[in-house]
Structures are given as C-alpha cells and as structure tokens.
Structure 1
Amino acid sequence: MEHQHNQKDNPLIHDLMMKGFIYTTLHHLSWPQQTLTVENGLVLRFYHRGMLSITPAQYKGDSATVISVGVHGDETGPIELVDKLVTQVLSGEVSISHPCLFIFAHPDATIKKQRFIEQNLNQLFEMSNMQIRGIEGEIAAKIKDVVELFFERSSGKKRWHLDLHCSSRPSQYPVFAIRPATRHQSGSADQELKYFAQHADVQAFLLCHHPSYAFSWYTGEYFQAKSLTIELGQLRALGENDLSVFSSFLSGMHLLLNRNEKLDDVNCMDQDIAVYDVVDEIRKQHPDLAFTARQALINFEPLYLNQEYGIQGGVPMICESGGYALVFANDKVDVGQRAALLVERIR
C-alpha cells in the first residue's frame, strides 16, 4: 500500500478533511487503498469505502480501538456522531493515543434509507469460512478482513470495539449497552467496560449469555476485544439528529481514544447503571407471531407476572416473572429471525 505525504491533489483526503466522513463515504464509491500522512502528523489508512484508520505520529504501547456505525444503514444518529468524532480527531481538537479504526459499514443502505438491502448485515459475522452471499455478505467479508489486519499489531487485552446503533422504539434508557457472550469474558474486562459506561453516561447494561453472529460478538470472540453494542436513542432521518443529547457519550469516546494502557475509575462518577440478563431470545417461528402487550412498544418497560405479552403458533406467551421486560420487540421480522429479547433486571 503506497504511503503518500503530499495530498494537495487527492480528492479523497480533500473531501475527508473539508466535508467529513459521511460526505466522503457517500460520495466516493471507490476508495483506493492508500496510506497518507497529513500536515498534523496523523497517519490515515484507507482500506475500503467507509473504512479508515487514524494513527498518531508517535505512540507507545499496543492498544487499538474500532468504532463502527451504519451496520444498519438507517440508524443515522451514530453515523452523524462518528462523523463529528472523526472531524475532531483530524482537526486535532481530540487527541488519540493509539491507532483507531472507523467503519461506516453500509453506506448504500444509508443512501436508500433502509436497514439493509438483502439481509441483516449484523447477523453475518460468524465463522471465518462462512459462504459469502449477496451484498451484505461481501461487506461482512471485507469488514472481517480489515479488522483482522488492523488488530495485527495490538494486544488482545488492549483492544476495544464499540458498534454503535439506535433503536426503532423508545426506551426507558436512551443509551444502553449490550455485552456479547464470548469465551474471553472476565471480571477485569467487565470492570473496564463498567468504567467506560460510567464515563459515557450509559444507563443500562444488557448481558448476553449465548453466542451471536453480531459484529461486536465477532471482535470479542476472535480478537479478545472489549466489545459492546451501544444503542443511542431512536431512528431519525440523516441530518435530523440532535447530537447534543449524546454529548456525554461523545466525551466517553474521547476518553477511550486517548486512554493509556487501560481505562480506570479516575474522575469517574459513581453512576448507578441498571444491569439486565437476557433470559430468552425470542425467534419468529410462525407467521402469526404478535406481541400483544403495550410494554412491547418501549424497550425495558416491565411486564407483569402472568401477563400475556404475545402469541405465537396460536399459543399465548406468558410472563413468568415480574422482573421481565422486552427489548427490540418486532413481530414483523421474517420467520427464523430474532423477534425480541426477553430480559430480567438483576441489579
């Protein structure tokens, strides 16, 4: 990959510096693979469209961070937030202490104002030898290749990945995190995740106990990264998001990108974070699946003991605990797809 120092005539770097990450990703359909050093010493590496790493001129240690958005193309709030973050890093307003990879995963779906084009990209990050199928399959393969290359020179315990999303439904917690279940879970890793959550004003943690094929699971499972899926507010059209409501989360990302060897609790607020376990992953097994409880309209809204909250295959779905709630309830998904998470607050 060619390394260039003079970018005056490079339209890709010109638009990135002057118009931002969103504009450059949406308007440049092809990103030639190249490495560039800009005037302030930052080293930019272009992998594929929407995949950009930024490395400080000098750094110590072997940390690395991935920030991804647009895995679902219509989730525009996080895309706009990371556009702002990339601009802050490029301008020097925000310092980074180590290599950082920014991924805008599915720009074509964003242009079409769709979640995806053929299939859900966030269910395609499974085994490395999976068959590549369709548009989203090709995107997943590229992302996995780039992440593997990016993480090569870093240490597993010093890798982080935040995959940013937003929900189609309102939530009791406007900002909440999902920790995937991986073979590398540990108490010390969870403690660092907690510190980040406190710094970033994350209001709730959702703990998964079974593997999934989501992007955050992939980086945690295969690269030992401290990985989270973060849900930031609700769906809005591109350009209509109020980023001020995520100012605390943005500050948390600033801290993460400029960390030393690890995050700690220095200057960390003693914030009470709600913690939930995933009790069940509800799959749509019959076309008649319907969520009948009004609580299904709001993530984390508590169900009542013995309340019917849905019907599937003609059989009522009954809440067996007063501490249960639904998250991501959507009975319109295709048969075989996840329709909701049934969760229980544990603290």
Structure 2
Amino acid sequence: MTSSADSAMLGDFLAFTLAGDAPAVRDGICADGAVRWRWLGDGVLVLEPAEADASNALDAPDARRASVLVSAGVHGDETAPIELLSFIVRDIAAGALRLACRLCIVLGNPPAMRAGDRYLDDDLNRLFSGRHAQFADSREAPRAAQLEAVADGFFDDAFGARWHVDMHTAIRASVFEQFALLPHTGTPPARAMFEWLGDARIAAVLLHTAKGNTYSHYTAEHCGTLACTLELGKVRPFGQNDLTRFAGADRAVRHLVAGEPRGAGAGVDADADVDAPGGHPPMPRVFTVIDQITKRSDALALHVAADVANFTPFVRGTLLAEDGDYRYIVRHDEERIVFPNPKVKPGLRAGLLVVDTTRETLGALV
C-alpha cells in the first residue's frame, strides 16, 4: 500500500515536485487498491487501473485500454494547467475520479517551474524531435531527451487509442481565449480530436502545415498519438489563477481519463453553448498556418502593437515585419497573426500567419 509520504505526493503532486522530492518507493497502490502508480522521475507519474480487464469506452467495445499522456509546465511559468493536473492526480489517488486508461502525467520543466520562469536557457518546447542535440550546454536539452524517452516508453506498451494533450497558457491576450494547435502529420485531422476539443470548449484550432519541434509534434510523429497543444489563457503565478475559466478543458480531460463518452454530463451545462446536433457543443473554428515570420537578426521590426492579441486580423497589403532586406506583407484578403514575439532569439519564429479554413477542414475530417 501507499505510505503516508507517498500519499502526500499523490495528494499534492505540484507541491511535491516543486520541493524537488523523490518518493520513498517508486511504485505503489492508491484509490483503495484500484490504481497502480509509478514515479518515473522529477514531475513524471504513471497511473494505471489495477484490474486486468482492458475495455474502454474511448475505443470499440473489444479494443484495448487507451493510453493518455497529459502534460503541462513545458513552460515553467504557465501555471494554471499545472495546477489542474495536480488536482487530477489527487482525485484519481483518492478514488474521486475513475481511471479507465493508462495515464502518464508530465510536469515538463520543474526547474523553470521552481524559478517561476518560462525556461532557464532555451525554450523546451522547441527542443524535441532530436533538436536538443544541437544545444549541448542548455539545461533544457537533457530534459527534452528525457521526455522523449518517457513518451517512447509509455506508448511502446500501448495497444488501444493513443492521446497526448499538452496544456499551456499564452503570454498575451487572444481573440479566442482558449485555442488548440494540432501538429502536422501529413494526414487529415481526426474527427475524434475535433469533437473532444469541442467538448473542451476550445473556440479555435490552429493547424500546422510543417513539422515542428514541440512535444505534441514529437508524440504525434514518433508515437502515433492524437496530439494537441492547448492554450488555455494567460500566464500567471502559482495561486493566482481562476481555474473556473478552464472548466471546459478540465472536464474534457477528466472525461478522457475516465473513459466517458463524448460530452458526458455536458448537455445540461447552462454555460455550454450547445447548439450542435445531438446536444453537443459546436466544433471550433479552424485556422491553417500559411506562413511564419522568422527572426533573422536583432534588427527585426514587427509592425504590430506590443500588446496585440493572438488572432488579430490584418488586411491585404499590410506590412507586418521587416528584417534587413526581408519584408512580410499580407497577401490574402485577411490574415491573422498568432504568437507575435520579436524578443525571441535569432533563428526562431517571431509570429505565425493563419487564414480561416473552417468549412473545408471540418468537411475533410476522418
């Protein structure tokens, strides 16, 4: 059984991780014997149903149990989803939240979390898919390699559906307060993901059109997951988040963990904005990346307000950026800018340009 010290870890996984502690033993039983847990290292915890049956409502009735990786804190100052994950661990351990899948919880960058910073040396969410090998002196590089290995090992043992939900908060305000990014896989997006995002009350989805170096890109490409990055609000210090603002995403993650069918319990939510067939919330709006502004030098001039919101629209002919002989001018009737940040290091993305592709994307879901 679980010791009192390990119960403290499961009861407040965030506080345990911030303290830099290690459990007295690395595995045990919780939830009155219903759940097995394994501590794999700083901020990494695997929880599995203790019983042997492998049924799961997320798959066909005869399919194997789903494997779900939920991560937060890849940027150490994005605290709200870290707090949500800690509460999910607490509720599973206490038996208050049913566990119907293999679940891997990852708090991505504990040293940055402890420092209250986005990262220590380099953006961890740009170091996956082997890019960490280019940053031998970075304190984030070993963590990227470790988290790749965690995902590989976890999904190597997967037989059913594979999911990865990587939760973040944005630096700036957004026209759509909560939105998702889907990695480029070369195949049409999955209807299951879009329906889940609708249940999570995600207002908009951004589709990447090229491979990247984020955690969700890594698991989608190398582990075969249905993966998404969620942006759930603005960066705030620990303890200063209004977690009720993220109730939709929290509820959807809990339904995923519990193996509950789509929209379970959502139809009677007074704030659900349910108007789709079957009583489910509407699908998110969809935007597709058509270009990006890459910072070539410290001379980059980004011609947008310092506090411009994500998804702010600009009309054809607008000059958005200059960097030496490089100029970015809006080519479509309307383009929206996402993640504008002229302060990144040279060579990194200083902004994404997207266009609305809702109708054609939703029509092509598989």
**TM-score, normalization by structure 1:** 0.90
Alignment correspondent of 2:242: 242
- The AA in structure 2 aligned to 1:135 is R
Whether 1:7 and 2:3 are equivalent positions in the alignment is yes
Instruction: Kindly report the root-mean-square deviation, in angstroms, between the aligned alpha carbons of the 2 structures.
Output: 2.2
Alignment correspondent of 1:80: 83
Assess, with a 3 A threshold, how the Cα gap between structure 1 residues 162 and 186 changes in structure 2: closer, same or farther.
same
Alignment correspondent of 1:124: 127
Assess, with a 3 A threshold, how the Cα gap between structure 1 residues 178 and 332 changes in structure 2: closer, same or farther.
same
Whether 1:26 and 2:22 are equivalent positions in the alignment is no
Query: 1-side partners of 2:134 and 2:326: how far apart?
Result: 36
Paired residues in the alignment total 333
Residue among 94, 98, 106 paired with 1:95: 98
Alignment correspondent of 1:180: 183
The DSSP-based 3-state class of the residue aligned with 2:71 is strand
The DSSP-based 3-state class of the residue aligned with 1:165 is strand
Assess, with a 3 A threshold, how the Cα gap between structure 1 residues 131 and 29 changes in structure 2: closer, same or farther.
farther
Residue among 31, 37, 40 paired with 1:44: 37
Residue among 265, 286, 293 paired with 1:275: 286
Assess, with a 3 A threshold, how the Cα gap between structure 1 residues 129 and 326 changes in structure 2: closer, same or farther.
closer
Assess, with a 3 A threshold, how the Cα gap between structure 1 residues 268 and 194 changes in structure 2: closer, same or farther.
farther
Query: 2-side partners of 1:108 and 1:142: how far apart?
Result: 14
The sequence identity of aligned pairs, in percent, is: 27
Query: 1-side partners of 2:211 and 2:132: how far apart?
Result: 17
1:204-251: per-residue Cα shift (whole Å, max 9, x none)?
Answer: 010111000100000000111000011010111111000001111111
Assess, with a 3 A threshold, how the Cα gap between structure 1 residues 104 and 83 changes in structure 2: closer, same or farther.
same
With 159-168 and 267-276 compared, the bigger mean Cα shift is at 267-276
Query: 1-side partners of 2:150 and 2:263: how far apart?
Result: 32
Query: 1-side partners of 2:23 and 2:204: how far apart?
Result: 37
- The AA in structure 2 aligned to 1:303 is F
1:156-182: per-residue Cα shift (whole Å, max 9, x none)?
Answer: x61000111111110011110100012
Assess, with a 3 A threshold, how the Cα gap between structure 1 residues 240 and 37 changes in structure 2: closer, same or farther.
same
1:48-69: per-residue Cα shift (whole Å, max 9, x none)?
Answer: 0100011112241231000001
Query: 2-side partners of 1:107 and 1:129: how far apart?
Result: 17
Q: Where do 1:250-261 residues align within 5 Å?
A: 250-259=250-259
Unaligned stretches of 5+ residues in structure 2: 55-63, 265-277, 359-366
The DSSP-based 3-state class of the residue aligned with 1:302 is strand
Give the drift of 1:33. Answer: 6.8
- The AA in structure 1 aligned to 2:143 is I
- The AA in structure 1 aligned to 2:340 is A
Q: Where do 1:133-148 residues align within 5 Å?
A: 133=136, 134-148=138-152
Give the drift of 1:130. Answer: 3.9
Give the drift of 1:129. Answer: 9.3
**TM-score, normalization by structure 2:** 0.85
Alignment correspondent of 1:206: 206
Alignment correspondent of 2:272: none
- The AA in structure 1 aligned to 2:296 is Q
Give the drift of 1:127. Answer: 3.4
Alignment correspondent of 1:223: 223
- The AA in structure 2 aligned to 1:82 is L
